[in-house]
Amino acid sequence: MHEKWMAEALAEAEKAAQMGEVPVGAVIVFENEIIARGRNEMRTRQDPTHHAEMQAIQRAATHLGYYRLLGCDLYVTLEPCAMCAGAMVLARIRHCYYGTSDPKTGACQSLMNIPQDERLNHRVELTAGVLAEACRAQLQQFFQQIRHKNG
């Protein structure tokens, strides 16, 4: 089942790539149904907060009519950064499944582990590596195309 939801997040990431954005996609699942989608749109919107996870969290809260996303699971193609990890905690996301790790900005296990910090009032369960190769390949292909284009 997790692969099914991550495939949906990969589709969102592909939409981001087609817009010239770094291909990261996210979906939020509640009661076995996608209630929100998001994709990177930082360049398009000229806003550093428009990460895939942030969009999905905002849309899920609107869908549920409540800012706490109790019982919701987030699927995202790349390990969330500190901003997104913090938002997951504040939103009370139940579980975050991510595809590939981010050794430069990952805040769910790589550089730090905000979602499971015992000093915080909520902890998000984490599962890394869901469709990891497909998620990694999508990002690598995007950056190879950028390098090729820029010579």
Q: Does residue 12 have an active-site annotation?
A: no
Return the closest-CA partner of residue 10 out of 39, 33, 30, 32.
39
SS3 91: helix
Alpha-carbon separation of residue 39 from 24, 45, 113 (angstroms) = 6, 12, 22
Phi, psi of 93 (to 5 degrees): -55, 140
One-letter amino acid for residue 92 of the chain: R
Instruction: Give the integer Cα–Cα distance in Å for 100 and 131.
Output: 8
The one catalytic residue in 12, 21, 53, 79 is: 53
**Catalytic residues, which ones?**
53
